[in-house]
Structure 1
């Protein structure tokens, strides 16, 4: 039986390099930045409210997605979805949706709004099906989603 697990990552799994190779082949160069920043400590997804999640299918790492305090607009309650990547061989099977679900569940405890940037038409369509609204005229923000209420 094959099982999908979404797990919060406190460290990068040993198999991260295989997923990085797939990301590079898919022209998703931000994945290398995820690994570099995590390893040098500049973004280990470890500030209050932040998290990095891994998607494992039958024990194999097939995707990652992170949540940061928005580094570009660090206002109160703003989180940023970052470094989302799913192994192309596993796309279209609900894995990205499950990963975003885990990110949003965690984010709802810490943030009011999530922001992200993508210049990929396919990724934009994916986020829009999950309720992210396209937004124009803001630097480094292509989509936003309200996830909580300000207190």
Structure 2
């Protein structure tokens, strides 16, 4: 079942006030990038507010279930802080969020890069058209034509 009918995807100027549940869940899985997102936002190091950047949230029935962003890195878009809650995986949420971010990125960039070190995420990105690469801190990339 796809949740597209019940999803609300929107750009976020600030971190959502209810991010703690996603943060806690991600840390229980061994992922610390949402804690970095929170710390970087608080310190001002990365607020996804440079030219071409964006941070996006996904809500299902009002509940925050996913987050992800695009940062500018060199002349490319860098997919960052992409996380989908366990209960929303394999339901189309991640694919919809990624497509939203890619549509945004195509307005500013010709390529999106990312880094993941998990098999499940690699399979997801490859199913979405990303090619595996082996460069410093980049595991996958997608070029727009």
TM-score bin (small chain): over 0.9
Corresponding residue number in structure 2 for 1:48:
51
Alpha-carbon distance in 2 for matches of 1:27, 1:113: 28
Q: TM-score, normalised by structure 1?
A: 0.91
Match of 2:91 in 1: 93
Instruction: Give 1 or 2: higher strand fraction.
Output: 2
Q: Which runs of at least 4 in structure 1 moved beyond 6 Å after TM superposition?
A: none
- Which residues in structure 2 correspond to 1:1-150 (within 5 Å)? 3-70=6-73, 74=74, 76=75, 78-136=76-134, 138-148=135-145
Structure 2 gaps, min length 5: none
SS in 1 for 2:125: helix
Structure 1, unmatched stretches of 5+, are none
TM-score by length of 2: 0.94
Deviation at 1:51, TM superposition (A): 0.2
Query: How big is the alpha-carbon RMSD for the aligned residues of Structure 1 and Structure 2?
Result: 1.3
Deviations 1:86-131 (A, max 9, x none): 1111100000000001100100000010000000000000000000
